[in-house]
Chain A
Amino acid sequence: MIFPIVRTALIGLRRDRGALALSFILPIAFFTIFAVIFGGRRDTTPKVSLMVVDEDHSVASERLIQGIEREGSLSVKKRPAPKQGVEQPDYTAATAEAAVKAGTAPVALIIPHGFGKNPISFGRAEQDRPTIQLLKDSSDMVAPQVIAGLLQKVAMTSMPDIMAEQGSKYMDEYAGGFTPEQRKRIEAGLEALRRRESAESGGQQTAAADPNRGMPIAVTSRDVVGENKDNPMVSFYAAAIGVMFLLFTASSAGGSLLDEAESGTLDRVLSSRVTMGTLLAGKLCFCSLLAFSQLVLMFIWAWLVFKLDFIPHIPGFVVMGLSTAFAVGAFGMVLASICRTRAQLGPLATLVILIMSSIGGSMFPRFLMPEAMQKAGLLTINAWAIDGFTKVFWRDEPVSHLWPQVLVLLGVGVVLCAIARRLARRWEYS
């Protein structure tokens, strides 16, 4: 008796292409996407982008930069990419800071004037040494930590002679040939070291107050983006999760077209004064309005509960919200127009939206993905919408800076509308 039950269920599954796709295609697609994102293939392991500004132009600064460039996990840029074939000047502290704010790279390293005079120092000499500045975007919590650690490593490995020279200088200064006097001074120095260690073991505050103590080079880091945000990642997740659910809502709302086609209401509507173009426009307005309302609710919730800085960003939010809602609404119309029945729509929408969301950054930030995946993400509505909302809420950019995202989202919306209109011809007449 069990066999006929299994056979019947298998036949049912085989004939339900949506269920079949959800059962077999979606898991494979998801596995592939996340395997690629998390570096399943060595050659796609993401590199951390770093901008370097050399204000010192000394031998030591150049050797430090060469050492950084040799690090396989870093992608080092000293100047912006050429524009129309024209080489651009090297980054300055100001242009590098602007580039971090614009999201070109998450971190910029500024090697100050005088670095070469005293690049590596320990003990008392630490007080006078120049400090390398690390300008960072605090939305990327990984890259600055990686770079700070690598910098100390590079300092020690890229300048061994300087390390030796500094070592003998300190040896000469503290030991002086190990005369009795020298021994006394060493003892005194060790005693001082012991006292310091003892004091530090009493709490972490001293070390925390000066993270460069004991490090060969001095580095200070400063947030240049998001420094005043109470909850740095909330704007990202409001946009990321919001857009994904917008897509689901729009596909469901677009499905009302299929409901009407299946019930015969569509025929009745089209036999009135309403044309297919008018009907689609009406449905698009409904889907877009619903999507925009959902975004408003999501961001107001984030403002009230997670202290998102909403009020000053309302103009940017409205521009991005309307553009996103339009693109998402058009997406819903296309999905509905492709499907023959409501039953087909559910699995197809789930399949497409989850793939778009995983590539487009709704589930995992795109800046942590391999470069190829980041580029692939640009084929999705999610990526452009999230980038736009990030500009508004994270980078505090003015509305005028949103034009690339707005243009793409509106363009995508128009193209999808045209496709939906074309596909909807099958409902017009038989």
Chain B
Amino acid sequence: MASAPVDSIPSSLLLPLRIEGLVKRFGELTAVNGVTLELKSGECLGLLGPNGAGKSTLIRSIVGRVIPDAGTVSIFGERADSAGARMALGWVPQELALYPKLTCRENLESFGEYHGLRRGALRTAVAWCLDWAALTDRAQEPVKNLSGGMKRRLNMAAGLIHRPKLILMDEPTVGVDPQSRNRIFEMIEKLRDEGISMIYTTHYMEEAERLCDRIAIIDHGRIIALGTRDELVRNAFASRSEVLARFANVDDSVAAWVKQRGGLYDNGMAQFTIEHASEIAGLLDAATKAGHELADISLRKPNLESVFLHLTGRELRD
């Protein structure tokens, strides 16, 4: 079947992002290992994984700042580092990539001009960004004088100055207090309401659950699970519940016992899945008989953290 040439397809119909078989190595380390991913129009996709999982490298590959060893990245049908892709793409890097001696307005004007905005269009874009980031009253303030939360918001605004159709947010809430974090969530939700497609990387499960339509769990450069929050939990646990047990004694015999019982053990904490709450009594009884003293036990509905632990055997924040 012959496919239509990309040029003849309206960009609104093209996928905002398509990644196929992406591989990136740094020496011996494979940071991204065969990632294939598609982002639908207007969707917010979360990349959830611990530090060093390969999230930032994947993002940088999409931005065109990393040359992959294999695979392709296309943005609205265009190659990642092409001029068209650059205009369609907005990037909020993890670092505060701002000019500290310039004011908020001057920073936004500079980045706007780098994206080719001039005169009226630039003024309008700067005004929109200042309003979106709730920084209008601090427009003339040098960045170095702003609070951490304000800097984060300006950092996000600078990535959106050219009003891109696809936004990549690389851990935008790192080092931000809870109040500022909520404000950032509201800003992102506003973008979602406008139908902008987004990739959002984080290692905070709550953020992924609140903001993302679908979540890709990434570990060691691979996407190990992809779906909505409910799909991920259902696939990992079906209708089972999760029992978390903390042992008073931490030694190898505990780990061996947990494994023998079909659970996961990590750093003094064991995770078991059960079908009915009545199974907890049997678990307690078996632990006592094996000579292991339990310090704490709890039953909870599985969440993304549980899914990650279930899939990797490690905590998300390791």
By a beta-carbon cutoff of 8 Å, the part of chain A in contact with chain B is 263-265, 267-274, 429-430
Please determine whether B65 and A429 come into contact, CB atoms closer than 8 angstroms.
yes
Closest to B91 in A: A271
Given contacts A264-B93, A264-B95, A264-B96, contact A269 B114 (CB under 8 A): yes
B81-89, B215-223, B240-248, B272-280 - interface stretch: B81-89
- Asked if B60 is an interface residue, CB under 8 A from chain A, the answer is yes
Closest to B158 in A: A268
Complex-state Cα separation, A180 to B212, whole angstroms: 131
Complex-state Cα separation, A430 to B59, whole angstroms: 13
Please determine whether A268 and B159 come into contact, CB atoms closer than 8 angstroms.
yes
- Asked if B63 is an interface residue, CB under 8 A from chain A, the answer is yes
Given contacts A265-B98, A267-B97, contact A272 B65 (CB under 8 A): no
Shortest distance from the beta carbon of B94 to any chain A beta carbon, whole Å: 8
Please determine whether A268 and B91 come into contact, CB atoms closer than 8 angstroms.
yes
Q: A263-B95, A265-B98, A271-B64 are in contact. List 11 more A-B contacts (CB 8 A).
A: A264-B97, A265-B99, A267-B63, A268-B97, A271-B63, A271-B89, A271-B91, A272-B86, A273-B116, A430-B60, A430-B65
Please determine whether A273 and B87 come into contact, CB atoms closer than 8 angstroms.
yes
Closest to A274 in B: B114
> Could you name 20 residue pairs across A and B whose Cβ atoms are closer than 8 Å?
A263-B96, A263-B100, A264-B93, A264-B94, A264-B96, A267-B93, A268-B97, A268-B111, A269-B111, A271-B64, A271-B65, A271-B89, A272-B114, A273-B83, A273-B87, A273-B114, A429-B66, A430-B26, A430-B66, A430-B67
Partner of A268 from the list B64, B93, B100 (CB cut-off 8 Å) is B93
Closest to B110 in A: A269
Shortest distance from the beta carbon of B118 to any chain A beta carbon, whole Å: 12
- Asked if B115 is an interface residue, CB under 8 A from chain A, the answer is yes
Residues of A within 8 A of B94 (CB): 264
Partner of A273 from the list B60, B65, B115 (CB cut-off 8 Å) is B115
Residues of A within 8 A of B98 (CB): 263, 265
Complex-state Cα separation, A272 to B65, whole angstroms: 11
Please determine whether A270 and B65 come into contact, CB atoms closer than 8 angstroms.
yes
Closest to B92 in A: A268
Tell me which residues from 87 to 141 in chain B have a Cβ below 8 Å from any Cβ of chain A: 87, 89, 91, 93-100, 111, 114-116
Residues of B within 8 A of A268 (CB): 91, 93, 97, 111, 158-159
User: Inter-chain contact count A-B, CB under 8 Å?
Assistant: 54
Residues of A within 8 A of B100 (CB): 263
Residues of A within 8 A of B66 (CB): 429-430
Would you give the 0/1 interface string for B148-163, flagging 1 where the beta carbon is closer than 8 Å to chain A?
A: 0000000000110010
Closest to B112 in A: A272
Closest to B107 in A: A265
Residues of A within 8 A of B89 (CB): 271
Complex-state Cα separation, A233 to B83, whole angstroms: 55
User: Most chain-B Cβ atoms within 10 A of its Cβ — which of A269, A271, A274, A430?
Assistant: A271
Complex-state Cα separation, A265 to B102, whole angstroms: 13
Complex-state Cα separation, A430 to B162, whole angstroms: 25
Residues of B within 8 A of A267 (CB): 60, 63, 65, 93, 97
User: Most chain-B Cβ atoms within 10 A of its Cβ — which of A264, A268, A273, A274?
Assistant: A268
Residues of A within 8 A of B162 (CB): 272
Please determine whether A265 and B97 come into contact, CB atoms closer than 8 angstroms.
yes
Please determine whether B65 and A263 come into contact, CB atoms closer than 8 angstroms.
no
Tell me which residues from 204 to 261 in chain B have a Cβ below 8 Å from any Cβ of chain A: none
Residues of B within 8 A of A273 (CB): 83, 86-87, 114-116
Please determine whether B115 and A272 come into contact, CB atoms closer than 8 angstroms.
yes
Complex-state Cα separation, A263 to B98, whole angstroms: 8
Shortest distance from the beta carbon of A90 to any chain B beta carbon, whole Å: 65
Closest to A265 in B: B97
Closest to A427 in B: B65
Shortest distance from the beta carbon of B220 to any chain A beta carbon, whole Å: 19
Residues of B within 8 A of A272 (CB): 86, 111, 114-115, 162
Please determine whether B67 and A263 come into contact, CB atoms closer than 8 angstroms.
no
Shortest distance from the beta carbon of B151 to any chain A beta carbon, whole Å: 12
Complex-state Cα separation, A264 to B96, whole angstroms: 7
Complex-state Cα separation, A430 to B65, whole angstroms: 7
Closest to B24 in A: A430
Residues of B within 8 A of A430 (CB): 26, 60, 65-67
Residues of B within 8 A of A264 (CB): 93-97
Residues of B within 8 A of A274 (CB): 114
Complex-state Cα separation, A264 to B170, whole angstroms: 13
Complex-state Cα separation, A429 to B67, whole angstroms: 6
Closest to B67 in A: A429
Closest to B57 in A: A430
Shortest distance from the beta carbon of B302 to any chain A beta carbon, whole Å: 36
Closest to B81 in A: A429
Shortest distance from the beta carbon of A59 to any chain B beta carbon, whole Å: 78
Complex-state Cα separation, A268 to B111, whole angstroms: 9
Shortest distance from the beta carbon of B292 to any chain A beta carbon, whole Å: 45
Partner of B86 from the list A263, A265, A271, A429 (CB cut-off 8 Å) is A271
Shortest distance from the beta carbon of B249 to any chain A beta carbon, whole Å: 39
Complex-state Cα separation, A405 to B193, whole angstroms: 63
Complex-state Cα separation, A293 to B67, whole angstroms: 40
Shortest distance from the beta carbon of A277 to any chain B beta carbon, whole Å: 14
Residues of A within 8 A of B111 (CB): 268-269, 272
Residues of A within 8 A of B116 (CB): 273
Complex-state Cα separation, A269 to B114, whole angstroms: 7
Residues of A within 8 A of B97 (CB): 263-265, 267-268
Residues of A within 8 A of B115 (CB): 272-273
Closest to B66 in A: A430
Residues of A within 8 A of B114 (CB): 269, 272-274
Residues of B within 8 A of A265 (CB): 97-99
Complex-state Cα separation, A263 to B101, whole angstroms: 13
Tell me which residues from 177 to 220 in chain B have a Cβ below 8 Å from any Cβ of chain A: none
Complex-state Cα separation, A396 to B163, whole angstroms: 58
Complex-state Cα separation, A274 to B113, whole angstroms: 9
Residues of A within 8 A of B64 (CB): 271, 429
Complex-state Cα separation, A190 to B100, whole angstroms: 87
Residues of B within 8 A of A263 (CB): 95-98, 100
Complex-state Cα separation, A429 to B64, whole angstroms: 8
Closest to B63 in A: A271
Residues of A within 8 A of B63 (CB): 267, 271
Complex-state Cα separation, A269 to B113, whole angstroms: 10
Closest to B85 in A: A271
Closest to A266 in B: B97
Complex-state Cα separation, A277 to B307, whole angstroms: 46
Complex-state Cα separation, A263 to B93, whole angstroms: 11
